[in-house]
Structure 1
Amino acid sequence: MSDTTGIPGDATGAPLIRARGLRREYRAARREPFARRARTVALDDVDLDVAAGRALGIIGESGSGKSTLIRLLLALDRPTSGTVSVDGRPVEASASARALHWLRRETGLVFQDPYASLDPRQSVGRIVSEPLRALDIAGDHRARVAEVLARVGLDPAMADRYPHEFSGGQRQRVALARAIAHRPRILVGDEPMSALDVTVRAQILDLLRELTADGMTLVLVSHDIGVVQNLCDDVAVMKDGRIVEHGPTTQVLHRPAHEYTKRLLAAIPVIPGR
């Protein structure tokens, strides 16, 4: 089982997000009739706790299971075995869309690609207000769109424009605005800064830091260990579908216990003289 020691819960001692024994297998297509299909294990017996108001970074090489894990946490995929709960409530990936409204209300997701994640046929205002409509949230949607665009550093007048009129960094701000428009308690980012240049990445990092300072719980998948070190309270290190190390960021990144974590840190380029 994965090590979850050192991860604080909320005031009651219970984590906001809890996963136990998560396993996800995929079966390959048959190459020949009646042949047995090979199985690929993407996640293998993963335990994870995320405390309310904390920022958790998930790191590891490509194919380690990071994106699969967050898909299971958000009920975007179904585990082969294991359980997930949010605020003590079981997450059933097999439930209907209506039955999962409570989970969609609690969570927001920012994808990696700011170009593919926005519908080019919709205006920015309609894109940002999408979760408000989908979750039947009452109120002045235009006012909320203007408010959240300003929060991510965009002119509210841009609501009538379309994605092709924006740079990559601006598009990712739009994606972030959409993810927080319905005021979720939990924000999940799947490599949300990997396609951005250094300056824009720093701006998005500042926005995420503001959100976590306001009490939002963050789960961030990232290849950039520097981002995790500067933003996250806790870190989980994944390898071959397992969490091999999990704890406070300062402990894991400065005093790693697992050999794989040590190799990851040793592979970070260092500028001579710094």
Structure 2
Amino acid sequence: MSLIEARGLSRDFIVPKRSTFERTRRQTALAPTDLDVVEGSSVGVIGESGSGKSTLVRLLLGLDRPTTGTVSVGGRPVDATASAKSLHWLRRETGLVFQDPYASLDPRMSAGQIVREPLWALDIEGDHRARVREVLEQVGLEPAMADRYPHEFSGGQRQRIAIARAIVHRPRILVGDEPLSALDVTVRAQILELLMELRRTTDLTLLLVSHDIGVVQNLCDTVVVMKDGHVVERGSTTDVLLHPQHDYTKALLSAIPVIPGS
């Protein structure tokens, strides 16, 4: 069963004129695209900067309005023009982890307040303190850390807080927009292991945007390759990475550095 379904989804932008003599231009960020994300699966979207992968995710989450096409989540249409209150159902279904773990956290809020914020915003009832303690432990942090502020944590710990915030309301879908790219190699491996553990122990459906093919290879069972706003290849991660069909996919794979003697 498809948990996320997109049909004919596209996004154009109007490029402002740089002079009175220049015509207004329309630029395509995403060409008409169909996509199905099966419940319980893990889908990686890869491509270089400007390929359209982040635009695609924003449209799927109702954070931007498509030029054409439709999106549904759990069989329910997503209307990006609806009020924030009307999209509470979608926010309950999804959790989002951003690229920069420091910029995405409010420095004026404690870790506990940051993690608890979705519960407040979405009017979710229950013992919020207990749920915050539970989810902090789930991502490998001590519950006592809830009273600390973002500047008191390392980069890896801040990303664990961001992941805790993304899953505290028990969404069915976890979306990562380059969640490891701002971390150093050692910390990246630790957060990768955390995400792999969440995949093993929960029913989360994962949608991961990344330029790091190694991350996608470890986390995703399906991969979508994008270039210039088009999906140029898709399939099981094993098939696409071992037997790429499109020249662009082959170029991405050939650009992966190889350590001599490894």
Post-superposition CA distance 1:89-114 (Å, at most 9, x none)? 11110011111111000000000011
Instruction: Work out whether 1:186 is the aligned partner of 2:196.
Output: no
Structure 2 partner of 1:146:
133
Q: In the alignment, which of 104, 108, 123 is matched to residue 121 of structure 1?
A: 108
Helix, strand or coil: the match of 1:125? helix
Instruction: Work out whether 1:238 is the aligned partner of 2:215.
Output: no
TM-score when scaled to structure 1?
Answer: 0.93
Give the partner amino acid of 2:191.
I
- Alignment gaps of 5+ in structure 1: 1-9
Instruction: Work out whether 1:250 is the aligned partner of 2:238.
Output: yes
Identity %: 73
Are the structure 2 counterparts of residues 34 and 272 from structure 1 closer, same or farther at C-alpha, using a change threshold of 3 Å? Answer: closer
Helix, strand or coil: the match of 2:86? coil
TM-score when scaled to structure 2?
Answer: 0.97
8 Å Cα contact 1:54-1:212 kept in structure 2? no
Cα deviation for residue 34 of structure 1 reads 8.3
Cα deviation for residue 32 of structure 1 reads 3.5
Cα deviation for residue 273 of structure 1 reads 2.1
Following the alignment from structure 1 to structure 2, what is the Cα–Cα distance between the partners of residues 211 and 55?
12
Cα deviation for residue 36 of structure 1 reads 3.3
Aligned residues: 261
Instruction: Work out whether 1:226 is the aligned partner of 2:214.
Output: yes
Structure 2 partner of 1:212:
199
Following the alignment from structure 1 to structure 2, what is the Cα–Cα distance between the partners of residues 186 and 139?
21
Instruction: Work out whether 1:267 is the aligned partner of 2:250.
Output: no
Structure 1 partner of 2:62:
75
Cα deviation for residue 201 of structure 1 reads 1.0
Following the alignment from structure 2 to structure 1, what is the Cα–Cα distance between the partners of residues 89 and 21?
42
What CA RMSD, in Å, does the superposition of the two structures yield over aligned residues? 1.1
- Alignment gaps of 5+ in structure 2: none
Instruction: Work out whether 1:132 is the aligned partner of 2:129.
Output: no
Post-superposition CA distance 1:130-153 (Å, at most 9, x none)? 100011100111111111111111
Following the alignment from structure 1 to structure 2, what is the Cα–Cα distance between the partners of residues 210 and 94?
36
8 Å Cα contact 1:127-1:178 kept in structure 2? yes
